[in-house]
A and B are shown apart, each in its own frame.
Chain A
Amino acid sequence: MSASTPDLTALDSATREALRRLITTLADSKRLMGLRYSDWLLGAPSIEMGIATSSMAQDEWGHARLLYAMLKELDVDPEVVEHDRAAEEYASLDVLDAPFDNWAAVVSAMVVVDGALSVALESFGRGGFESAGTRIPKMLAEEEFHASLGVAWYRRLAGAAHEAHALLREATEAQLPSVLAWLGADDEPARALLAAEITDAGSSQVEAFRDAVREVVVAAGVDVDAIEPASAWDEKRGRGPGAPDEGAVERARGDRNRSLFVE
């Protein structure tokens, strides 16, 4: 990919729309990932893990804020995107639509979902969009701690009692298909971003992701190379079908906090 900054005004409308879709799906996924971590601040297995989960939630929300701000360069008001959209407009990964049922699912998401987001960010950060190139390295440095924690916990649960192992495997097998479809998107917007040298090909991102998680998820008996991507796809939002639950979106938008604002 090119290291030069593309002239955004020179991009055709389809590529600008593809870039808007990419930034929105990354930002929304970060926002929802943080929200799902925050669900476990008081339910993590130890005080230390609760603090770490809280910190990861803060990291994800910070990353989301930085990503939303990039929309300004496309003449999109981030304030509206962050606070005035309905659930059906959210472009977050569909595996984040509902709360995680158990701790094994959280741990699986640290490896699978957060891991996929990092692969997508790496690709975006290497491309020609300058704001991504300057802001994403710090995000990825923070994500190294998430990955370390996810892998350590994944291996621990995979080697634990039958029930924990089974829950981990079930969660991983449930999360992988939509994550693979999201990373490997090969629709018109994805091809436009590839042609503009803003991201790598989806197939390259999938390959990088499989390489990153292969040796981890095998501990739960999951063969990442045998998992097929989900087939259902919403091209407008760049994610699978469905939407986050309304309660999650109210929290993501900050409805209750904002109702206290005095103009």
Chain B
Amino acid sequence: MHEIVYDVFARKNRGDALTHVGFVDALDDETARVYAWKTYDEENWFEMCVVPRSAIIPVNRQVTAPRGHRGNRP
């Protein structure tokens, strides 16, 4: 079953910067929402969102994924 990598961003309080907190492999947007909320539940987040890694457009480097993390691009 094909899975997509989604990066997870969250902020604890209104006005905080959104911070990259991790990633999930998911079937689609809906499962990514739930997986992210259930996986990164160590904080009482004010806001959380997920972004398909393939939607992130590199600006100054062609490889954006940190070492050891999977990405949808080579």
Contact = CB atoms under 8 A, between A and B. Distances in A.
B38 A152 contact: no
Contacts of B47: none
Contacts of A152: 27-28, 30-31, 34
Nearest to B3: A46
Interface residues of B, number: 16
B1 interface: yes
Measured as residues with beta carbon below 8 angstroms from the partner, the interface class of chain A is 10 to 19
B37 A145 contact: yes
Contacts, number: 44
Contact of A55 (B25, B27, B41): B41
A149 B25 contact: no
Interface string A107-123: 00000000000000000
A145 B38 contact: yes
A48 B24 contact: yes
A51 interface: yes
A14 interface: no
A148 B35 CA distance: 11
A174 to B, nearest CB: 24
Given A48-B24, A48-B25, A152-B30, A160 B1 contact: yes
Interface in A93-149: 145, 148-149
B39 interface: yes
Given A45-B1, A48-B24, A160-B1, A151 B35 contact: no
B30 A51 contact: no
B1 A149 contact: no
B33 interface: yes
A149 B1 CA distance: 16
B26 interface: yes
A51 B28 contact: no
Given A55-B38, A160-B1, A48 B30 contact: no
A49 B35 contact: yes
A148 B34 contact: yes
A145 B25 contact: no
> Which of B31, B33, B39 has the most chain A CB atoms inside 10 A of its CB?
B31
Interface of A: 45-49, 51-52, 54-56, 145, 148-149, 151-153, 156, 160
Given A49-B35, A51-B38, A145-B37, 8 more contacts: A48-B26, A48-B35, A49-B31, A54-B38, A149-B34, A152-B27, A152-B30, A156-B28
The 6 A-B pairs with the shortest beta carbon distances in the complex, nearest first, are: A48-B35, A55-B38, A152-B30, A52-B38, A149-B34, A152-B31
